[in-house]
Amino acid sequence: MKGPICNVCLNSDIMCISCKKKVESGDVKDIDITVLKTLNNISKEFKPLADVEIKKIVEGEKILVIVTKQGDGPRIIGKKGVMVKKISKLIGKPLRVVEDCSDVKEFIEKLITPIPIVGINVIYSPEGEILKVLIPRGRKIPMSKSSFGEIVNIMFSKKAIVANG
């Protein structure tokens, strides 16, 4: 498995200098270590996980988003979502797996699937641009609106809100 922490550290309780620096700078948080170690443990039995590259882990209020390298999503989700359910149970939080992409719209699409995006408006406010993501009336995204905003902000340094349109 590849991730923000090296394999040596994933298999040990002591951290190498390079990984320690990432923790000290805040690039790697406790939750990252917990999730990566959990994945690493499971990967010993569940081989497809061993080839997965984890790009980022983002923790929202009641959700955890694991961003994988493009194409690695199915490996971590497993057949019929078995693996993702197992990981979610071990971590104690609902989980979303999203493949990495540089396009914010594409990322949001993947993040809130199966809820479709009706449109995205850009609002210009004194604090900068805000992406207003419109979803169908009466539908809800699979996470809180604040978590959604937080996740998009961490990934793209952009403000985003969701509204029914």
**Binding-site ranges for Zn ion (CB under 5 A):** 6, 9, 16, 19
Radius of gyration of the chain (CA): 17
Nearest approach in angstroms of CB 124 to Zn ion is 43
Query: Which amino acid type is present at position 150?
Result: E
Nearest approach in angstroms of CB 110 to Zn ion is 29
The C-alpha angle 22, 26, 28, rounded to 5 degrees, equals 55
For Zn ion, give the closer residue by CB, 25 or 102: 25
Under 8 Å CB-to-CB from 84, ≥6 apart: which residues?
Answer: 76, 77, 78, 95, 97
For Zn ion, give the closer residue by CB, 6 or 90: 6
Nearest approach in angstroms of CB 65 to Zn ion is 23
- By three-state DSSP, how is residue 89 classified? helix
Query: Which amino acid type is present at position 106?
Result: E
For Zn ion, give the closer residue by CB, 36 or 151: 36
